[in-house]
């Protein structure tokens, strides 16, 4: 007959456990048995499953951050924030910055990254338009030379 170990915890990981798992995963990678040996009452399987869900939530968050903007001519520009906070960074920040401020800092970082991506997209479009104008100018010059 199978008996559960009495010291195994059920339910969600506490914030402290989550922070510990994040820092240990950064240190050991996906070696869940080794990580579980340092997180009392949690199994390797449970921690591995939590990690996969954590990563999936970050991925969904990235997709939600995709936004579309229109320029003056009505062209649609898609901007995606490339900032995905690594668990290592979250763990590092949470030890030095109080919890509420971490959320604010994360939001500022996302907004900064979105602005950067928008600027890069605008720069790319401006470069393309400039090269197109240069081609048109060269074409017009060649046409005038042939006409003279």
pTM assigned to the model: 0.45
User: Residue 134 pLDDT > 60, yes or no?
Assistant: yes
- For residue 81, the model assigns a pLDDT of 47
Band of the pLDDT at 104, cuts 50, 70, 90?
A: confident
Band of the pLDDT at 2, cuts 50, 70, 90?
A: very low
Helix (H, G, I), strand (E, B) or coil at 54: helix
> 33-72, pLDDT tens digit by residue?
999 999 999 999 999 999 999 888 877 776 666 555 455 5
User: Residue 93 pLDDT > 80, yes or no?
Assistant: no
Residues 6 or more apart in contact with residue 109 via CB below 8 angstroms: 83, 85
User: Residue 89 pLDDT > 70, yes or no?
Assistant: no
Say how far apart CA 146 and CA 11 lie, in whole Å.
81
Say how far apart CA 38 and CA 64 lie, in whole Å.
34
User: Residue 86 pLDDT > 70, yes or no?
Assistant: no
């Amino acid at each position: 007959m199978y008996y559960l170990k009495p010291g195994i915890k059920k339910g969600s990981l506490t914030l402290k456990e989550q922070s510990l798992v994040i820092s240990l995963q950064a240190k050991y990678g996906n070696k869940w048995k080794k990580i579980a040996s340092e997180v009392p009452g949690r199994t390797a399987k449970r921690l591995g499953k939590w990690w996969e869900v954590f990563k999936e939530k970050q991925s969904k968050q990235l997709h939600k951050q995709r936004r579309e903007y229109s320029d003056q001519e009505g062209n649609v520009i898609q901007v995606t924030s490339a900032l995905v906070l690594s668990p290592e960074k979250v763990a590092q920040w949470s030890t030095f910055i109080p919890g509420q401020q971490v959320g604010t800092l994360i939001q500022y970082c996302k907004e900064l990254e979105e602005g950067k991506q928008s600027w890069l997209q605008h720069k790319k479009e401006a470069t393309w338009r400039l090269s197109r104008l240069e081609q048109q100018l060269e074409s017009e010059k060649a046409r005038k030379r042939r006409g003279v």
